[in-house]
Amino acid sequence: MDKSFTKEPMLEMFIFETLKLIGQLEQTILAHEKTRCLESTVINEIFRIMHTIKGSAAMMMFDGITSLSHSIEDLFFYIRESGSDNLDYSKVCDIVLGVIDFIKNEVAKLGEAMEADGDPTALIEVIDEYLVTIKGNPGENTTTHSNVQLAESEKKYYIATSKALPDSKKKCYRALIYFSPGCEMENIRAFNIIHKLKDQAEYIDYIPADIIENNASADFIRENGFDLMFTSQLSPEAVEEFLLKEPFVDTLDLQVAEEGEQRIERLKTHKQIILEDDEPQDDNQAVKDIEKEQQYLQLTNSRQNFISVNVSKLDKLMDMVGELVISAAMVTFNPDLATAVSLDNFHKSSRQHRKIINELQDIVMSIRMVPLNMTFQKMNRIVRDMSKKLNKDVELEVIGEETEVDKNIIEHLSDPLMHLIRNAIDHGIESKEERDRLGKSPVARVRLEAKNEGGDVYIIVRDDGAGLNKEKILARVRAQGLILKPDSDLSDAEIYSSILIPGFSTCDEVSEFSGRGVGMDVVARNIEEVGGKVLVDSHPGQGTTVSLKIPLTLAIINGMQVKVGNAIYIIPITSIKESFKAEPDDVIVDPNNNEMIMVRGQCYRVIRLHRRYQVETNVVEIAEGIIVIVENDMRSVCLFVDALLGEQQVVVKALPKFIGKIAGISGCTLLGDGKACLILDVADLVNPTKN
C-alpha cells in the first residue's frame, strides 16, 4: 500500500500547513528584500507565520522546529516593538531564509517517514547574536524566553494528567473555548483537547462535530469558539485547570451542573448537544445552538470550494478513466459487430457513450492540472542567492505563471528550471563592470515565461546576457569528441544544442555552480522523460533563450497507428513531421549498408521497423511501404512501415516489469479490439548512439 495513504492525518495536516506557511514566508521575504523596508504589516505577517509554526510544532512535539521558531519569533517581536529603522535588511533576510531552509529539511524528513532530528543550535546562536547587535547591549541575554524555559513551559502541555481527585458523583460540563488570536489550525488544537479529554471524561460531544474532516471548522472555531460538552468525575477546578493549561487556550467559559439535575439531549434537527435543567430552561439557548449550527453549515458550504486530495488517488482515478476509454473502444469496435445487419441504434448509443467518456476524461484531466506559479516562485530564491554570491544584480521576470500542466509533469520541472536559471546567471549574465563597459543596464534580467500552444506547454528561460559563443562551443565539442559531423553540416541550432550533451562544459575551472560537465544534460534528460524536448537559441551580445516544450499530460496521447506485418505500433502525433511514398531511386546505401534517403536536399537515416523488431512482413521494398519522418531535439529519421492505419487517442501504460526496458519503446496500450500494441520512443530512435 502507498505509504501516503497510511500517514497519520495530524502529521499530514502539519506537513501541508507548514510547507504552505513556509512558502508564503519565503515569498514575503524575497519580495521585500530589495525595497530595504519591512513595513509593519509585513513584520506582523512574519511574526504570525512563525508563531503559528511554533505552536503547531510544539503540539506535534517537534522540538527543533519549535525552538528555532521561538527564537525567530523573539527577533521579530523585538523588531515589531522597537521599529525597523536601523536593521541590516540583508542580514535579516539571510537569517529568515536560513530558518526556512532548516524547517523545509525537517518537514522533508517527516514526509519520508524519518525523524525530524536536525539541530537548530547554530541558527539560534546566529539569531541571538544579531538580536544582541540590534539591541545594542552585547552583554545582555537576549532570548525573551530561553530555550530551556520553552521546553519546560511547552512540554508540560503534552501529557494530559490531572492532580484533582474525582468527586463521588459525575458532573455535566459545558465549556466554550476560544484560542489565542493568530494561533491557526484551531480545529487541530480542538481535536488535541478531545483526544486528551477521553481519559478523564465520557459522553463527549462538541460543535462543530467534523473538526478533522473539514478545514472550514477552523474558521468557525476562530469566530465562534469551540463548544465542548461532556460528563466527568473531575471537580470544576480540576476541569478548568485541565483546559486552561492546553496550548493557546485564551479564554474559557465553563458551566457545571449535577448529572441528576441536568441531562444531555441531542438536538433532533442538527444532531448537536445542549444542556437542559429539569426546571424550565431559557428556550433562547436552544435557539442559539440551532442558529450556531446553521451558521456553521453555511460557513462550511461557502468554504468547501476547494478540498485537498491525495495525488495517488488522482493517479488511480486517471488509470480507471483510461481503462474506461479502452473498454469503450473494445465494445464499439468488437469484431462480432461486423456480422450484424443493422446497428443504427447501437451506433447512436455508442456515440453518446463516447461523448460522455470524453467529457469525463476532460474533467479528470482538468482536476490534475496544477498552475506553475508555485514552481516559478521557487526560482526567486535561486536568483536571490546566486546574485548575492556572484555579486551580480539580477531581476527575475515571471510571465504566464497561471499556466496549468499535469501534476506529474510539474514534479519533473523543478530541477531543469533550477539548472537553467543558475546557468543563465552564472554563464550568461556578465559582471557589473562588463555590463557597464558594454552600455547595458546595470540590472540584468532573466525572464521565465510559460504559455500554451496547441497540446503543449512552452516554458521559456531568456536572459539578456552575453549569449552563447558558437566558436567556443564547437571547439570544445570537437576537443571532447562529442560530435563527429563536419562543420559545414552543422546548423547554429545544432551547435547551440551541443550544450545539452552529457559531459559538455565550457568552464575550465570547477566552481560551486559549474564546471563539472553536468547540468544541461540533466535538463534534457528530465524533459525527455516526460515526452518533451529542449530548444536552444542565442544571439551574441543579446542573450540566450532555452525553451522547454512539454505535453499537457502524460496519461493519454494522440498517436498514429502504423502497421508492420501483423504488429501495430503507435507513433506520437507531436513527433511526426510528414509521411510519403518513396521511390527506390530515392534510397542511398553507404559502404556500411546503412540506408539513407534524400528529402528536399536533406539526408535522413532510414530505420526499417520490421528489421529492428524482427517482425515478419511481405512489405520489404521501399516503394511498397510508407516513409514516416519523425523528429526529436532538432534531429530526424525516417521510419519504414507497411501502412498508416489512422490517428487514435491512446492510454499510455508502462511496460510490464518482467519485460524490462526495450530500446525505442516508451510504453504500450490496448486497442479497441483488445490487442496490445507498443508506443515508439522517438527520442530513443533518433539518437544515433542507440541505433
Share of the chain above pLDDT 90, in %: 10
Rounded CA-CA distance 604/238 in Å is 86
Quote the pLDDT of residue 199: 73
- Mean pLDDT value of segment 624-642: 88
pLDDT at 143 over 70: no
Q: Taking 60 as the threshold, does the pLDDT of residue 646 lie above it? A: yes
More confident residue, 142 or 617: 617
DSSP character at residue 667:
E
CA 505 – CA 527 distance, rounded (Å): 20
Say which range, 71-80, 648-657, 678-687, has the weakest mean pLDDT. Answer: 648-657
pLDDT, mean of residues 193-212: 78
Least confident of 146-160, 334-348, 480-494, 538-552: 146-160
- Inform me whether the pLDDT recorded for 263 exceeds 50: no
The whole-number pLDDT of residue 243 equals 86
Cell of 252: 474559557
pLDDT, position 488? 67
E strands, 272-337, in order: 273-277
pLDDT at 448 over 90: yes
Higher pLDDT, 649 or 367: 367
What average pLDDT does this structure show over 276-305?
Answer: 48
Give the model's confidence band at 449: pLDDT under 50 very low, under 70 low, under 90 confident, else very high: very high
Higher pLDDT, 305 or 670: 670
* 202-207 average pLDDT score: 80
Residue 155 pLDDT more than 90? Answer: no
Residues 610-625 have a mean pLDDT of 91
562: pLDDT strictly greater than 90 = yes
- What's the pTM value of the predicted model, to 2 decimals? 0.59
Is residue 522 within a helix (H) or strand (E), and if so which, with residue range? helix 520-529
Range with the poorest average pLDDT among 2-6, 184-188, 254-258: 2-6
Task: Please give the pLDDT value at position 518.
Answer: 45
Q: What is the pLDDT of residue 277?
A: 37
pLDDT, one tens digit per residue, over 492-534 is 777 888 788 776 665 555 454 443 344 677 788 788 777 777 8
What mean pLDDT do residues 129-139 have? 73
Judged by average pLDDT, the poorest of 141-145, 567-571, 659-663 is: 141-145
Provide the pLDDT for residue 648: 78
- Higher confidence at residue 262 or residue 604? 604
Residue 305 CB partners (closer than 8 Å, separation 6+): none
pLDDT at 485: 66
Taking the C-alpha atoms of residue 570 and residue 135, their distance in angstroms, rounded to an integer, is: 70
- Kindly tell me if the per-residue pLDDT of 569 is higher than 90: yes
- Confidence check: pLDDT of 689 > 60: no
pLDDT band at 473 (very low <50, low <70, confident <90, very high): confident
Among candidate residues 152, 145, 154, the one with its CA nearest the CA of residue 57: 154
As given in the structure block, the three cell numbers for residue 236 are 470544576
Q: In this model, does residue 161 exceed pLDDT 70?
A: no
pLDDT band at 257 (very low <50, low <70, confident <90, very high): low
Residue with cell 514526509: 111
Q: Are 247 and 310 in contact (CB under 8 A)?
A: no
> Looking at per-residue confidence, does 674 or 470 come out higher?
470
- Single out the residue of 569, 572, 568, 575 nearest to residue 557, CA to CA: 572
Q: Which helix (H) or strand (E) holds 605?
A: strand 602-608
DSSP string covering 467-515: ---HHHHHHHHHHTT---S-GGG--HHHHHHGGGSTT----SS--SSS-
Q: How far from the centroid of its chain's Cα atoms is residue 662's Cα?
A: 30
Burial degree of 446 (CB within 10 A; 0-12, 13-18, 19+) = buried
- One DSSP character per residue, 526-543 reads HHHHTT-EEEEEEETTTE
Average pLDDT score over residue span 616-637:
87
Using an 8 Å Cβ cutoff, are 221 and 208 in contact?
Answer: yes
Q: Is the pLDDT score of 628 beyond 90?
A: yes
Name, of 15-19, 45-49, 194-198, 614-618, the range with top average pLDDT.
614-618
Tell whether the model's pLDDT for residue 160 goes beyond 60. Answer: no
| Beta pairing class for 643-651 and 556-564 | antiparallel
Flag whether pLDDT at 104 surpasses 80.
yes
The answer to whether the beta carbons of residues 91 and 60 sit under 8 Å apart is no
CA-based nearest residue to 272, from 199, 210, 356:
210
Nearest to 245 by CA among 152, 160, 182: 160
**Alpha-carbon distance 687 to 691, whole Å?**
7
Dist. CA 515–CA 476, nearest whole Å = 13
Q: Nine-digit cell at 672? A: 479497441
Q: To the nearest 10°, the Cα dihedral for 323, 327, 332, 335?
A: 130
| pLDDT of res. 3 | 43
Q: Which of 6-20, 130-144, 180-194, 471-485 has the highest mean pLDDT?
A: 180-194
Half-sphere exposure of 680 (CA within 13 A, CB side): 30
pLDDT(304) > 60: no
Label residue 281 by pLDDT band (50, 70, 90): very low
**Integer Cα distance of 545 and 535 in angstroms:** 8
The pLDDT of residue 259 = 43
Stretch among 61-75, 453-467, 478-492 having the lowest mean pLDDT:
478-492
Residue where the block lists cell 563536419: 486
C-beta of residue 482 within 8 angstroms of C-beta of residue 505: no
Closest CA to 429 of 465, 461, 478, 463: 465
Place 374 in a pLDDT band, splitting at 50, 70 and 90.
Answer: confident
Evaluate if residue 189 carries a pLDDT over 60.
Answer: yes
Which pLDDT band, with edges at 50, 70 and 90, does 157 fall under? very low
Q: How confident is the model at residue 1 (pLDDT cuts 50, 70, 90)?
A: very low
Across all residues in the chain, what is the average pLDDT?
Answer: 77
> Quick one: pLDDT band at residue 555, thresholds 50, 70, 90?
low
The pLDDT of residue 307 is: 65
In DSSP terms, 274 is beta-bridged to: 265
The rounded distance, in Å, linking the Cα atoms of 390 and 429 is: 10
Dihedral (CA of 647, 649, 655, 661) sign: positive
On the question of pLDDT at 462 being above 90, the answer is yes
Could you tell me the pLDDT band of residue 162, with boundaries at 50, 70 and 90? very low
CA distances for 470 relative to 56, 367, 442, 498, 524, angstroms: 54, 44, 25, 10, 19
Q: Cβ(597)–Cβ(643) under 8 Å?
A: no
Measuring CA to CA, how many Å separate 33 from each of 42, 97, 384, 422, 675? 11, 11, 9, 20, 60
* pLDDT score of 602 more than 50: yes
Instruction: Give the separation between CA 179 and CA 223, rounded to whole angstroms.
Output: 10
The answer on pLDDT for 145 being more than 60 is no
Q: In sequence order, which residues have a C-beta less than 8 Å from that of residue 345 and are 6 or more positions away?
A: none
Rounded average pLDDT over 263-270: 36
The whole-number pLDDT of residue 512 equals: 47
Which pairing describes strands 404-406 and 595-599: parallel, antiparallel, or unpaired?
unpaired
Give Cα 676 to chain centroid, integer Å: 33
Is the pLDDT confidence value at 288 over 60?
no
Count the alpha carbons within 13 Å of 573 in the hemisphere toward its beta carbon.
14
- Cβ-based neighbours of 298, under 8 Å, separated by 6 or more: none
> What CA–CA distances, in Å, run from 114 to 6, 14, 53, 388, 471?
14, 15, 19, 33, 50
Query: How many Å from the N-terminal Cα to the C-terminal Cα in the chain?
Result: 39
